[in-house]
Amino acid sequence: MDMALWTMFLNPLRQRIVERIAEIVELSDIELDIKYLKFIDQMPPQPPHTMECGRMVLPPGAETVIVIFDLSNFHLDNMGWGFVCLFVQCFESYYPETLGVCVVHRAPFVFWGLWKLIQPLLDPVVATKFVFTRNNEELHKVISRERLLITHYDGLDDWKYEYIPATAGGNAVMEDSYKKERHCLETKFDAATCEWIKNVNGKNSSEHDEIAQGLREQYSRMTPYVRAKNLYQRWGVVHEGHVTWTYNVKSK
């Protein structure tokens, strides 16, 4: 595949995840998403892959995300019904409690006709999470300027997107070494969960929580053996189970 075309395909997937209380923010620049440049056989894995990578870089305590759809210079070529339907299905079926707020930024007049078609597809609870901002001033009321990019959003974060391609041999350690340990922990966790559910007073919750923490720590050790490296690992955001985001915040 031509690398220039592949880069254009990847651009709509770019994410800049920032902390906001117990939430993170994903930014999608819709102007870069040209529907006829997408490869049909590669589109279905795109939303789940993006969401799973996002979950991987959630800071401790973060349970929900804010999604920003930037519709600046939006036109009908950017509209892909297949992607919209798949995106909605993923959130409603697999991540129902993950979406905190969905910000639709700078929606042009042509979008409102499409919104009348999209809204009935949404679960009523999900539909209430949509927020529309007309300009950067309104966007700043939802997300602090310290966590928004200087370019386009008049924020204070001087961050620039850079795609780091995968290298040959980067996933050479993937094997089954940790599966036995994982299976043992999962069996203990299932048993502790059953006891925790039966006990309405919550006396056994400490054991349940301890095993759950052990599962998280064990998965961090097992990840290099069962999961291919993604862009956030190549950026250095995720390293040995730790998530570290850095911000180049300019003074106001």
For the four alpha carbons of 206, 207, 212 and 217, in that order, the dihedral sign comes to positive
Residue 44: which residues within 8 A CB-CB, separation 6 or more? Answer: 86
| Cα torsion 146, 147, 151, 154: sign | negative
| Tens digit of each residue's pLDDT (9 = 90 or more) over 38-92 | 555 556 677 777 778 777 777 766 778 888 888 888 888 777 777 788 888 888 8
With 80 as the cut, is the pLDDT of residue 248 above it?
A: no
CA-based angle 232:39:64, to the nearest 5? 40
Q: Give the integer Cα–Cα distance in Å for 85 and 88.
A: 5
Q: What is the mean pLDDT of the chain?
A: 76
3-state secondary structure of 55: helix
Alpha-carbon distance of 227 to 174, in angstroms, equals: 7
pLDDT-derived band at 14, boundaries 50, 70, 90:
very low
Kindly indicate the confidence band of residue 35, based on its pLDDT and cuts at 50, 70 and 90.
low
Contact 141, 113 (CB under 8 A): no
The answer to whether residues 145 and 139 touch, using CB atoms and an 8 Å cutoff, is no
Q: What is the pLDDT of residue 141?
A: 92
Lowest mean pLDDT among 21-30, 188-197, 228-237: 21-30
pLDDT reading at 22 higher than 50: no
Q: Which residues contact 169 (CB under 8 A, 6 or more apart)?
A: none
Architecture of domain 3-153: 3-Layer(aba) Sandwich (3.40)
Supply the pLDDT for residue 189.
83
Sign of dihedral through CA atoms 96, 101, 105, 109?
positive
Give the single-character DSSP code of 13: G
